[in-house]
Structure 1
Amino acid sequence: MQSILNLLPQHVEAYVTQAMKTNKSIEEIRLRINQPVECLFSNKTLFSSTFFTEEDANMFLNQLSAYSLYAFEEELQKGYITIEGGHRVGLAGKTILDNGKVKTIRPIRSFNIRVAKQKLGVSNKLVAELYDGKNGWRNTLIIGAPQTGKTTLLRDLARNVSTGTATIPASKVAVVDERSEIAGCMNGTPQHDLGSRTDVLDGCPKAEGMMMMIRSMSPQVMIVDEIGREEDAQAILEARHAGVVIMATAHGYSFEEIAKRPIFKQLLKEQAFDRVIEVGRTPYPGAVSKIRIPSLVYQR
């Protein structure tokens, strides 16, 4: 958290620090010009009595960009900046377009600081379910609603696969991190522990990145977050045909719900995944609620 607090205007830092003394598990800090500071915790939301001002916003932007906002043009096109510790600052305001695509955001009126928290060991109980001693790691899809801990679980799986155990050999892992959420890279360097045999392609579209990693890094296991486009599905099937194990996440509320979507219906019928894991926020983010075996539903 200190890397976040160091960037905040003094009165905002004081408020957030005080709020964290009496509340645990802060998840987001939202800053909107001429509005109270909003702190979202796992079980409640708090608002400051003072407002976040235009001057505060300018100071915060200067801190974020080290007084060189133009150096962050690529990040501005994506709508977020990743800072030390893997925390991500989402941005909103007036978009400037170039040939129909977002060139930058100016002025920026809102910030959403998403607090990154690596939970080491959260996937440990899944290892026995996802590793087949005869055939190796199983192709796995993790589904859950927003903020249920899908990425947290996937991140720790990457670490476990890359590190191995006393009875499971370490594997070469490739992470295609389109939104910089799995590894939380800063200047290309992961801020989270993904194990010693993991290579990260940061900020690259998933479908293109999967093919790049297969050609360049010869991974045994590929990790991708939030699949959902047709090109993602095709890349996953190509990776499977190349003998690469896929571990991925997707937004969804249940196996039955995602199975109705055309892209996932195709992937499930093609038996792209050996296990589908449903996760929830209780008793902790990334907690497994159900483990499904798609082949029992989609028989060839």
Structure 2
Amino acid sequence: MFIEIAYGKEEYVMTSVLEILPNHITDHIHAVLEDKDFDVQEIRLRVNQPVELNNGRDVRWLPQTNFSQSDATMFLNKISDFSLYRLEEELRHGFITIQGGHRIGISGSVVVENRQVKAIHHISSFNIRIAKAQFGIIHAYTPYLITDTIQNTLIIGPPQSGKTTLLRDIANYCGSSKLQLKTAIVDERSEICASINGVPQHLFAPRIDVLDRCPKAEGMMMFVRSMSPEVVIVDEIGSERDAEAIDEVIHAGVQLVCTVHGKSLEDIRKRPTMKKILQKNIFQRFMILSNQHRAGEVTEILDATGHSLYKSRVNIC
């Protein structure tokens, strides 16, 4: 019952973002939000510069705005609840997750010790990535991905093509009454679930368990050893340790759905680590995404041999 209520609806909540922005900026952003043809994905704030909005393809500047140093100080205080010490660990990773699942990237002067980032001081710019939990995207592709269970699937796409959005929707589908699979999400960078204090900010099906901010390789093995999952969901694979953990997951009889940056199957085959993973013939399906028209646009689905099972009718050239 839980997930059926959510499916078919687009959750696009800007309230928590607008509440922390300076008032002289929110009025101008409201005007852009009224344009339904411009789906804001990022709001970029740079000290002494006008505000930039983008939708993954186009950019809109708000020339009437100027993000001042005092605006930056107040904004940082608001997103940290006036306690930077409380968010020290998040700041070291270069981002803060706020209510609603929105992620705020930061940049400024980096303090490094023993080749590790210890802090970021004198923060001069922010990138607010708008969290948009979309449900039902996967419905059009289930005939290609699902038999009695989800096929081992690798989602391939460039930045801002909707890989994580699609991954989140697949997780919901697997954990809902549609498949009723015990679904485990290893969310290393809090991008899939956008958890705050361990609680996912996105709406999820009842049969989903989450390891937040846990390295992918360790998280996959922790789930296999202790939570008896039927499907494991991870974002952005590519390291040697990921390859070893993936091998263990598959040999434990657990299905796997994950993403990787790339433009095509041929593109990722050129990378040494991905080449090793692909040579094991783990994946039964490859979903190719594009950011040419909209986030989450699937242009092609391939089987294990690279044969095309589905091709979008939209001309992406």
TM normalised by structure 1 equals 0.93
Contact 2:107 2:126 in 1 (8 A): yes
Residue 162 of structure 2 corresponds to which residue in structure 1? Answer: 149
Alignment match, 1:186: 196
Residues 179-210 of structure 1: CA deviation (Å, up to 9, x unaligned): 11111111111111231110111111111111
From 160, 182, 196, the equivalent of 1:172 is: 182
Matches within 5 A, 1:13-28: 13-23=26-36, 24-28=38-42
Distance 2:287 2:147 in 1: 16
Match of 1:280 in 2: 290
**Does the aligned pair in 2 maintain the 1:267–1:273 contact within 8 Å?**
no
After TM superposition, the structure 1 = structure 2 runs for residues 19-168 of structure 1, keeping only pairs within 5 Å, are: 19-23=32-36, 24-41=38-55, 44-48=58-62, 49-133=64-148, 136-165=149-178
Deviations 1:46-67, CA, capped at 9 Å, x for gaps: 2122310100000000100000
8 Å CA contact 1:268–1:294 kept in 2: the answer is no
Deviations 1:224-253 (A, max 9, x none): 001111111111111111111110000000
**Closer, same or farther in 2 for the Cα pair 1:14/1:196, shift >3 Å?**
same
Structure 1 residue identity aligned to 2:87: F
Deviations 1:136-193 (A, max 9, x none): 221000001111111111100000000032xxx3000110111111111111111112
Structure-1 separation of matches of 2:280 and 2:35: 50
Q: Distance in 2 between matches of 1:278 and 1:114?
A: 23
Correspondence for 2:315: none
Residue 7 of structure 2: aligned partner: none
State the alpha-carbon separation in 1 of the partners of residues 272 and 208 from structure 2: 32
2: CA distance, partners of 1:252 / 1:236:
19
Is the counterpart of residue 199 in structure 1 residue 214 in structure 2? no
Corresponding residue number in structure 2 for 1:225: 235
Mapped partners of 1:15, 1:70: distance in 2: 32
Structure 2: how far apart are the matches of 1:13 and 1:4?
9
Where does structure 1 lack aligned partners over 5 or more consecutive residues? none
Q: Which runs of 5+ in 2 are unaligned?
A: 1-13, 308-317
Distance 1:296 1:277, change over 3 A: closer
| AA matched with 1:254 | S
Q: What is the CA-CA distance between 1:44 and the residue it aligns to?
A: 2.9
Offset at residue 42 of structure 1 (A): 5.0
Task: Name 1:8's counterpart in structure 2.
Answer: 21
Check whether the contact 2:56–2:160 (CA below 8 A) recurs between aligned residues.
no
Q: CA RMSD in A?
A: 1.4
What's 2:250 paired with?
240
| Cα displacement (A) at 1:35 | 0.9
Comparing 285-294 with 36-45, greater Cα deviation is found at 36-45
After TM superposition, the structure 1 stretch with the greater mean CA deviation from structure 2, 272-281 or 1-10, is 272-281
Say if 1:283 and 1:19 are closer, same or farther in 2 by CA, change over 3 A. Answer: closer
Query: Within 2, Cα distance between the matches of 1:102 and 1:20?
Result: 36
Q: Distance in 2 between matches of 1:194 and 1:258?
A: 30
Residue by residue over 1:98-146, the C-alpha shift from the partner in whole angstroms, topping out at 9 and shown as x without a partner, is: 322111111111100000111110111222221123xx22100000111
Shift of 1:216: 2.2
CA contact (8 A) 2:99 2:196 kept: yes
SS at match of 1:22: coil
Partner AA of 2:61 in structure 1? F
Q: Which amino acid aligns with 1:238?
A: E
- Name the residue aligned to 1:271: 281
